[in-house]
Amino acid sequence: MTVTDHPADLAGRGVHVLDFGREFDGRRVLRGVTFDIEPGGFTALLGASGSGKSTLLRALGGLDDDYSGYLTAPESLAVAFQEHRVLPWLPVWRNVALGVRDDAPKDRALRALTEVGLADKADAWPRTLSGGESQRVALARALVREPDLLLLDEPFGALDALTRINAQKLVETLWQRHRPTTLLVTHDVEEAVLLADRALVIRDGSIAEQITIDLPRPRDVTAPDFVAIRRRLLAALGVDVTSPTPESEGSE
């Protein structure tokens, strides 16, 4: 499925970044970063720890304006972080509806919770949720705003392997259903190939490589084309793909 399968109401919902730069205490972290995300597209951003992935995502989310260069992004956006940031003193549905201006906020929250399979947890307290359920609450909180731009900052990083797989499938399903323009920051190369249309690799403060991921969905991690793209991304990240790595051993 491609963005052209959807109606023209996607127009104007893309992301444009031109010559973006950011420094901290005189140390230049990002410089000359330039890329676009087409409306409704799903892009993964990869790089080593400290490479500036989350810094760029925060700027796109309006959480940091101390940068150089130029960027445009839809005003209607939502962010899901690795830390699910569920407020323990509010029941689940109120966490989802937090900040929503609606005459019937609970009804709206329930619709979002139904989409992530948690309608039966609407009145539960966050302390009773598993890690995977808390992550789904965070996704429901993002969905309830019906954003044009969805920013995902390592949203599955704290989950166990099985829960992570299920959460990845859920994100793919929700993206195909609603088609927000999506940027996923991740360290997981396999996750990037599984979910995204394109992967951007940050190295030495700029975009070192852009790789199109034109694979049919749902994707098979054992398929030769999938493995080839994963190996290419690993190489772009500086991983020696000629010798075994824990990631390659688990996927090939």
Q: What is the CATH number of the domain that holds 65?
A: 3.40.50.300
Buried b (16+ CB within 10 A) or exposed e, 174-211: bbeeebbbbbbbbebbbbbbbbbbbbbbbeebbbeeeb
pLDDT at 241 over 90: no
Residues 161 and 196 in one domain: yes
Burial of 112 (0-12, 13-18, 19+ CB in 10 A): buried
Predicted TM-score (pTM) of this structure: 0.86
Residue 63 amino acid letter: L
Residues 35 and 67 in one domain: yes
Residues 107 and 53 in one domain: no
Count structural domains, the chain.
2
Quick check: is 246 in a domain?
A: no
Residue 104 amino acid letter: A
Structure confidence by residue, pLDDT tens digits, 184-239: 999 999 999 999 999 999 999 999 999 999 999 999 999 999 999 999 999 999 88
Return phi, psi of residue 90, to 5°.
Answer: -120, 140
Structure confidence by residue, pLDDT tens digits, 23-40: 988 888 999 999 999 999
- Which strand (E) or helix (H) includes residue 92? helix 92-97
Residue 53 is predicted with a pLDDT of: 92
Q: Considering 146, 163, 190, which residue would you say is the last residue of a domain? A: 146
Residues 112 and 17 in one domain: no
Residues 224 and 159 in one domain: yes
Q: CB 4: neighbour CB atoms within 10 A?
A: 8
Residues 231 and 157 in one domain: yes
Name the residue with higher pLDDT: 133 or 104: 133
Quick check: is 123 in a domain?
A: yes
Residues 54 and 68 in one domain: yes
Rounded (10°) CA dihedral 53, 1, 250, 134: 60
Quick check: is 107 in a domain?
A: yes
Q: Which residues constitute the domain of residue 20?
A: 11-76+149-237
Whether the link from the prior residue into 91 is cis, omega within 30° of 0, is no
Residue 98 is predicted with a pLDDT of: 86
8 — pLDDT class (breaks 50, 70, 90)? very low
Q: Compute the distance between CA of residue 183 and CA of residue 15 in angstroms, rounded to an integer.
A: 9
Structure confidence by residue, pLDDT tens digits, 138-154: 999 988 888 999 999 98
Residues 109 and 227 in one domain: no
Quick check: is 1 in a domain?
A: no
